[in-house]
Amino acid sequence: MFRTANCIPRWAVSTIAVALITLAGTIGSLAHESTPAPIACQPAVPNNVEPPSHLLHFANPENTFFMNGIWAGLYPDGIMLIDKNAIVADGEYAGWRAQKMWWTRDDGVVGPLIVTGTLLDGEAPDAVNISFARQYGSMGFTPVGLAFAEEGCWQITGSVGNHTTTFTMQVDFVDVYPWMTTPET
């Protein structure tokens, strides 16, 4: 059989196809093997920074995280539990789940409080502050309604000008809050 320089015998095409398929499978399994394991969430713990006496009713060092002029109230064990039915009803964040969290600014920290969150162990839009901040002014105490599209390990950041506090917390959506269950007898 006569072949031109541009022709490849059928056996060669089959051999190349098998080699490419095998190579693709090997690359796919290598990529799968190199996928990192999910991170273990390490929620922030209170860092016991004593606030000025006039802020003690807002910022108890036993349940707060302080950094760079901003205190944030932490949830027990660093886990924010959100009722699965606490769904934002309308607007841009409809269907997300929301929970309140309190913050307070140190003396001299003045300006709007901006709170956001980034999911560390998955893919989700950033958490957002959906309420309250504008009602409380630019100094002192401000409750924040944080809305989350997904549960998981979140890095939360609160900023006022060049003052920033960042910490990690676990967000879990629950059917019933544990403190509302009736103990079995």
CA distance linking residue 185 with residue 182, whole number of Å: 9
Reported as a pLDDT band with limits 50, 70 and 90, residue 29 is very low
pLDDT given at position 122: 92
pLDDT given at position 180: 56
Cα angle for residues 81, 87, 89 (degrees, 5° grid): 160
The DSSP symbol for 133 reads: G
How does pLDDT run across 38-68, given as a tens digit for each residue?
568 999 999 988 888 888 877 888 889 999 9
What six digits make up the tokens of 177? Answer: 């809050």
How does pLDDT run across 110-147, given as a tens digit for each residue?
999 999 999 999 999 999 887 765 667 788 888 888 99
Reported as a pLDDT band with limits 50, 70 and 90, residue 175 is confident
How does pLDDT run across 74-98, given as a tens digit for each residue?
988 899 999 988 888 778 888 889 8
How does pLDDT run across 155-168, given as a tens digit for each residue?
999 999 999 999 99
Using only C-alpha atoms, the chain has a radius of gyration, in whole angstroms, of 26
Domain ranges of the chain: 1-35, 53-180
Overall fold of domain 53-180: Immunoglobulin-like (2.60.40)
pLDDT given at position 15: 46
Beta strand segments in the chain, E? 64-67, 70-73, 79-83, 97-105, 114-119, 127-129, 141-148, 152-160, 163-174
